[in-house]
Structure 1
């Protein structure tokens, strides 16, 4: 029994470590530009490769692909923000010619950090439908700034409303910088940044991460599954459950119950999307002769 326990612990540890980073190959080509040096062109290709890798991993974690407009907006944002999510990379091939620079990269993305980033950006919340908010800006704002705000609304899943909360107000700020105010639930936040996109998510992360402690506690449930014939099958499902990242933020195997009638497992699950998880469980477990129960943690 002790040997079995060590095997189980080792397998669970392997699942935990393998879930930290996601690897993917991307290919990028940047056409030659007389006004851009080869070194700069290569750096741009590298930045786009990282952005594509993060987008690719985000699509997997969200469960449903972003539409073309949101995907492009996400990639453009990640051109300057992707490196914080990159755990490592390998250059598979690099070719410089008169036509441009071609790169093939194998990129490892830190899934834990990316999951937190997607939550702060409102992309998990957007799955439940658009968020109605009031977005305003002063007269005389350059057209490119207005277009930038509209693209950020598209990316974040925000629909324009009138006299509603939350409200985001772009205000006159210091020279060469943006200033904005976010109002919500009797709270108000102000931020200043030279990059409109950074400013936007700096404020909206306050909204999407609000009451995180309360949300986390209420979002933890207990999943019990029975009907397996061997412990290996429980560990296999443990990996499947962790991979359902559009529904589950965290899953931890806390009990392995071995009875003469079969093997059962109990997980503590932190939810992102309860209905999505229920749908995945119904499509996966019954056809394998397994039964499950999902309940609030510590409920009897």
Structure 2
């Protein structure tokens, strides 16, 4: 029932939600039910969108760990899908494929990638200090996968800008993550729960930027419809050299036109301004960067 509703939502949600479409061609497995097939297609689409957002490919093991988390959140990350006929999808003697266009909740996915640390550490690992207390070595095997997921590497070198994670276990797990005066504490039954909770707090801190980047406010005006900013947001997704991370924070009316406002993090303000200027000139738009 949910998937039927999602199909209908494709035509309704696009004008109100910043969505991303990914087309996936998925092999059909014999005796597989529709629900299982669609779930595999959703995961393939999420994988493609993650790589598009990050502008780089993650290691296979890291992507598998990430999808182990996001696949449980399909209902909130997938807005709908439709099946399309594509060349090569016809059934032959050995195999068959089906092609789906999957609509993904772009802002929701980016928020999850930020909370997991992936948005910040896709290209470079960040150091942190790990302190263990009362933890049996056999219970730390999961740490390797969690560190890879979040893009973190343990170091013995303490510094003002390096966070410290103290893990202890007395029945339940407790994690205390600190950076200067900032602190996050969480207690839960599993190491995964504790790890994801404290690092989500860390990566969600107000004003946190990817290292070496500055946050800029970009205002683009001149569209006649609300779809203009959404399409421009998708265009900016392809600017991997100029845009390291961005958030569409508002769409508003300005006189007779529509305005889109972004928070953008970039390593080069000049390069971003040039790219914005070229795109704005082509579309007859006005750009402000501050």
Query: Scaled by the length of structure 1, what TM-score is found?
Result: 0.63
Q: Which residue of 2 aligns with 1:124?
A: 119
The whole-number CA distance in structure 1 between the counterparts of 2:178 and 2:59 is 29
Distance 1:265 1:140, change over 3 A: closer
The whole-number CA distance in structure 2 between the counterparts of 1:100 and 1:191 is 49
The alignment's C-alpha RMSD in Å is 4.6
SS in 1 for 2:137: coil
The whole-number CA distance in structure 2 between the counterparts of 1:26 and 1:70 is 21
SS in 1 for 2:263: strand
Task: Spell out the pairing of 1:216-295 with structure 2 (5 A cutoff).
Answer: 219=215, 221-223=217-219, 231=222, 238-239=229-230, 241-243=232-234, 244-245=236-237, 246-250=244-248, 252=250, 268-271=261-264, 273-275=265-267, 278-283=270-275, 285-286=277-278, 288=281, 293-295=288-290
The structural deviation recorded for 1:234 is 10
**Aligned partners of 1:173 and 1:192 also within 8 Å:** no
Is the deviation greater in 114-123 or in 164-173?
Answer: 164-173
Which of 169, 178, 181 lines up with 1:172 in the alignment?
169
SS in 2 for 1:190: strand
Could you give the per-residue CA deviations for residues 168-190 of structure 1, whole angstroms, max 9, x where no partner exists? 3443254xx65433233332412
Report which of the two has the higher share of helix. 1
The whole-number CA distance in structure 1 between the counterparts of 2:57 and 2:153 is 19
Distance 1:238 1:100, change over 3 A: closer
The structural deviation recorded for 1:139 is 3.1
The whole-number CA distance in structure 1 between the counterparts of 2:189 and 2:25 is 32
Q: Which residue of 1 aligns with 2:53?
A: 61
The whole-number CA distance in structure 2 between the counterparts of 1:103 and 1:234 is 34
Q: Count residues in correspondence.
A: 256
The structural deviation recorded for 1:198 is 4.2
Distance 1:255 1:30, change over 3 A: closer
The structural deviation recorded for 1:117 is 0.9
The structural deviation recorded for 1:166 is 1.7
Which structure 2 residue ranges, 5 or more long, are not aligned?
A: 1-11, 86-93, 238-243
**Aligned partners of 2:215 and 2:263 also within 8 Å:** yes
Which structure 1 residue ranges, 5 or more long, are not aligned?
A: 1-13, 33-37, 94-98, 226-230, 259-263, 296-300
Distance 1:45 1:79, change over 3 A: farther
Q: Which residue of 2 aligns with 1:150?
A: 144
The whole-number CA distance in structure 1 between the counterparts of 2:75 and 2:13 is 25
SS in 2 for 1:141: helix
Could you give the per-residue CA deviations for residues 201-259 of structure 1, whole angstroms, max 9, x where no partner exists? 222110011236x98xx95625478xxxxx5699897445422255320154668699x
The whole-number CA distance in structure 2 between the counterparts of 1:101 and 1:171 is 51
User: Which has more radius of gyration?
Assistant: 1
The structural deviation recorded for 1:136 is 4.8
SS in 2 for 1:162: coil
The whole-number CA distance in structure 1 between the counterparts of 2:258 and 2:97 is 48
Q: Which residue of 2 aligns with 1:140?
A: 137
**Aligned partners of 1:52 and 1:75 also within 8 Å:** no
The whole-number CA distance in structure 2 between the counterparts of 1:178 and 1:89 is 40
**Aligned partners of 2:129 and 2:156 also within 8 Å:** yes
Q: Which residue of 1 aligns with 2:8?
A: none
